Amino acid sequence: DRAPLRNKYFFGEGYTYGSQLQRRGPGQERLYPRGEVDAIPEWVHDLVIRKLVEHRVIPEGFVNSAVINDYQPGGCIVSHVDPIHIFERPIVSVSFFSDSALCFGCKFQFKPIRVSEPVLFLPVKRGSVTVLSGYAADEITHCIRPQDIKERRAVIILRKTRLDAPRLETKSLSSSVLPPGYNSERLSGSNRDQILKPKRSHRKADPDAAHRPRILEMDKEENRRSVLLPKHRRRSNFSSENYWRRSYEYTEDCDEEEEDGSPARKVKMRRH
């Protein structure tokens, strides 16, 4: 999963959320179909999970889902609650590369991105372990603000999925979440429309747009001036680059006069 200034990697179990689902909102998150996500790497077991078990932070065999979030400076993750119907508690995270902070109870606004003051600001040091449960995990949102990622930072999030967690059916997957190497034959013909989420366009297609001459900005200005200014103050019709001045490109001339007595010339322009 890629977002601006953040890459997310799922291991063991992955889940889909947000725009990846045909139906959005809290409670709509689903685990990926079984076998779609790679196993948790051995180095995560050896260097992270085993250490947490030895220090009795989590019991043996607790973790079956690992997520690595790789943040670039200015990256963030918006306020959220880890889906209660997907994951058991506690939620354990281990920080690497640089210091940061976990903020609780913030509200995000976008374009430009703005974040309200947090209810609680929790410094997260490089190498620290954070354990969320109870109120902190279930009753208040947590986030990472852009201003709190000043250097590259990575975090490994370790969780256990619930036995009754809903699992995504393949037909509900959008094209953005299909795993690499997915059997393309399953997407052929009418089956493709059933699996992929239809894409929406924000603009209506215009079949004649390719054959219609484009209006340059200077032409728009000329049209605006011709409406606002009296005739004696208007610039010549030939001031725009849209009109070619060489005589052999004029397909029709005439000697008709306008009401004020000045000669008028009709020009037909060819576009390629």
- Which residue numbers are catalytic? 15
Neighbours of 192 (CB within 10 A): 12
- Do 237 and 243 meet the contact criterion of CB atoms below 8 Å apart? yes
Residue length of the chain: 272
Write the DSSP string, 127-178: T-EEEE-HHHHHTS-EEE-GGG--S-EEEEEEE-B-TT--B--GGG--TTTP
Q: Is the dihedral of CA 128, 129, 134, 136 positive or negative?
A: positive
**If you search the block for the tokens 């006069």, which residue do you land on?**
257
Neighbours of 6 (CB within 10 A): 18
Residue 157 makes CB contacts below 8 A (sequence gap 6+) with 66, 67, 68, 69, 91, 92, 93
CA distances to 5, 42, 216 from 242, rounded to whole Å, are 43, 66, 8
Q: How far apart are CA 12 and CA 67, in angstroms?
A: 9
